[in-house]
């Protein structure tokens, strides 16, 4: 048993072991929530919703007292233990930094440090998750038991080779963390710039401006600068069913949902063409007033008539896209849609009310300058995302080839 990729100097075969032979499998517990003496101490007590977003787990949302730990079935795990969720989202993992306990939604792994490296086991998270999903059971909800987790078979190498592998993957995870943080900061910088490059109804002069432009912006109605699209896909010109994602824009439902949620017959759907816009009235945490996106990925697509579609006229298309990437248009949506007007996740906004939106625009030269800086910021973000994708692909290659 040999991996496809190996560090120089290692040639011994790997061996197959049971997980329970190299790590102790430890469940959790919850003391009485009505006894205040059991809570608000200094012992971390993790729940499944806190695990799976980051590699390392530092602080839990709630904490146990010494008495609370003693009066429950929860056990204190040592730093380096891998928390493994056993129900309601099986297989999410994280490495604890400080001594911690968990509730009963875990079968955590406390590695035998003389045999196996903690990060080496963490690198096997996806394999252990597949095993847990296959061997979970239960009538009310599926769960993997500690006895079943012990039976999971893994392949390991000598401890010094494990350390080499762990150091390699850990360095890539650190690089990914830095790259993702850089992307977040660049996104924040982009939003800051956009909010200041655009004016609004109350202020006809933006806070940040290109040299040579000093005239006030003009307040106009959106409907005077765009044309509503009503054309239907009656001849089935396209078979691409579109949806709007706040993060990814107008995308194929099959790529986004993994299936088609549209009607079988797309003939009554709006036929949207490249460069045209659509407003999704569905609100979410990321898009509290819906999303307005431009079709860029495909030449044509079919869109539900629940969306409001339009095309720019007498306004720079990139400028308009940048405007809808700000929050400047939120105030109009707030005015025409109240909490009581929300229904089944959709804001109750008519096309007439939508096109009555007031926007402020500069002359075409300034629109062009703002469009150029907006496109440059998007290009930089795209390059940063490509770096992240490359690092992720390298990590996946090594996880598949450094391990058996």
C-alpha dihedral (154, 160, 165, 168), degrees to nearest 10: 160
% of the chain surpassing 90 pLDDT: 88
Beta strands 23-26 and 108-111 are: antiparallel
Residue 26, pLDDT > 80, answer yes
> Per-residue pLDDT averaged across 222-239, rounded?
96
Helix axes 364-401, 159-197, angle to 10 degrees: 170
Helix (H, G, I), strand (E, B) or coil at 333: helix
Determine the pLDDT at residue 341: 47
Distance from C-alpha of 15 to C-alpha of 10, rounded to nearest angstrom: 14
Q: What is the pLDDT of residues 41-87, one digit of tens each?
A: 999 999 999 999 999 999 999 999 999 999 999 999 999 999 999 98
pLDDT reported for residue 338: 59
pLDDT of residue 262: 84
Residue 303 pairs in a beta bridge with: 270
Strand 93-96 relative to strand 23-26, pairing: unpaired
Token pair 């391990």 is found at 403
pLDDT at 344: 59
Averaged pLDDT for residues 9-30: 96
Residue 340's pLDDT band (boundaries 50, 70, 90)? very low
User: Can you tell me the mean pLDDT for 387-393?
Assistant: 98
Beta pairing, strands 100-102 & 39-46: parallel
Residues 6+ apart with CB under 8 A from 257: 243
Q: Give the mean pLDDT of the chain.
A: 94
User: What tokens appear for 253 in the block?
Assistant: 């439902």
Q: Which pLDDT score, from 0 to 100, does residue 193 have?
A: 95
Structure tokens at 77: 């795990």
Read off the pLDDT of each residue in 150-177 and give the average, rounded to a whole number: 97
Quote the pTM value: 0.84
Residue that has been written with the tokens 């959790």 in this structure: 28
Q: What pLDDT, in 10s, does the model give residues 256-289?
A: 999 988 888 999 999 999 999 999 998 888 889 9
Contact 283, 345 (CB under 8 A): yes
| pLDDT digit string, tens, across residues 345-379 | 778 899 999 999 999 999 999 999 999 999 999 99
């Amino acid at each position: 048993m040999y991996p496809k990729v190996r560090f120089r100097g290692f040639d011994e075969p790997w061996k197959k072991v049971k997980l329970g032979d190299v790590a102790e499998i430890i469940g959790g517990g919850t003391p009485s929530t009505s006894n205040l003496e059991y809570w608000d101490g200094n012992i971390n007590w993790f729940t499944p919703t806190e695990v799976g977003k980051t590699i390392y787990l530092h602080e839990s949302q709630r904490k146990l007292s010494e008495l609370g730990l003693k009066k429950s079935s929860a056990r204190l795990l040592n730093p380096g233990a891998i928390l493994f969720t056993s129900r309601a989202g099986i297989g999410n993992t994280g490495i604890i930094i400080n001594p911690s306990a968990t509730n009963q939604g875990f079968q955590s792994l406390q590695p035998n440090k003389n045999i196996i490296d903690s990060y080496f086991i963490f690198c096997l998270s996806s394999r252990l998750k597949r095993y847990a999903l296959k061997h979970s059971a239960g009538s009310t909800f599926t769960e993997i038991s500690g006895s079943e987790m012990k039976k999971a078979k893994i392949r390991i190498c000598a401890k010094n080779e494990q350390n080499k592998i762990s150091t390699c993957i850990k360095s890539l995870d650190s690089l990914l963390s830095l790259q993702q943080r850089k992307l977040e900061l660049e996104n924040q910088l982009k939003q800051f710039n956009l909010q200041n490059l655009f004016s609004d109804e109350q202020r006809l002069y933006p806070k940040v401006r290109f040299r040579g432009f000093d005239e006030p912006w003009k307040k106009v109605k959106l409907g005077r600068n765009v044309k509503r699209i009503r054309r239907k896909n009656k001849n089935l010109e396209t078979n691409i069913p579109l949806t709007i994602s706040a993060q990814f824009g107008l995308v194929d439902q099959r790529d986004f949902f993994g299936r088609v949620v549209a009607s079988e017959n797309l003939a009554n759907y709006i036929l949207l063409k490249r460069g045209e816009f659509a407003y999704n009235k569905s609100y979410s945490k990321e898009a509290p007033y819906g999303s307005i996106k431009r079709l860029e990925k495909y030449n044509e697509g079919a869109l539900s008539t629940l969306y409001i579609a339009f095309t720019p006229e007498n306004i720079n298309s990139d400028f308009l896209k940048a405007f809808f990437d700000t929050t400047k248009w939120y105030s109009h949506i707030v005015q025409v849609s109240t909490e009581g007007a929300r229904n089944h996740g959709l804001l109750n906004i008519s096309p007439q009310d939508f096109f009555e939106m007031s926007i402020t625009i500069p002359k075409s030269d300034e629109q062009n300058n703002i469009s150029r800086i907006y496109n440059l910021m998007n290009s930089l973000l795209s390059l940063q995302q490509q770096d992240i994708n490359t690092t992720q692909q390298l990590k996946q290659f090594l996880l598949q080839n450094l391990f058996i």
